[in-house]
Amino acid sequence: MRKLRKRRKLSMTSLIDVIFLLLLFFMLTSTFTRFAEVELAAAGSGAAASDTRPLFLQLAPETLRLNGAEMTLEELPAKLAETRGEVPEETPPQPLIVALR
């Protein structure tokens, strides 16, 4: 039978030395650049939030409701145009919430 040899403990000192040298090498050879500063707009310079109420469109297999009023699919474009007003280019965009049932 063979005699079992005792294994030597692995010395961590040399591993730590190598890691330290690698760290030092990469720190000295890398270049550090300064990023250009970006000018941000002031918080108050944006447009005011609109007070328009969102439209609520509820879609079901047999029914269609816009703000609670039941209608057909053919009536929907006319009703949406009516809510936009006379000149849609001058009115602010109105949010539309769609719910599927």
Dump pLDDT digits (tens) for 43-99: 765 566 666 778 888 988 888 999 888 998 899 888 888 877 765 666 677 788 888
Across the range 12-36, mean pLDDT stands at 89
84 occurs within a structural domain: yes
- Could you tell me if residue 64 is inside a domain? yes
Q: How far apart are the first and last CA of the chain?
A: 80
Residue 88 lies in a domain: yes
What's the domain range around 63? 53-100
pLDDT of residue 84: 73
In terms of phi and psi (left: phi > 0; alpha: psi -120 to 50; beta: otherwise), the region of 62 is alpha
- pLDDT at position 12, please? 84
Domain annotation covers residue 16: no
Give the number of domains in the chain: 1
pLDDT value of position 19:
95
Q: Rounded CA gap, 36 and 47, in Å?
A: 28
Taking residues 27-38, what's their average pLDDT?
82
pTM, rounded to two decimals: 0.45
The answer to whether 68 touches 57, Cβ cutoff 8 Å, is no
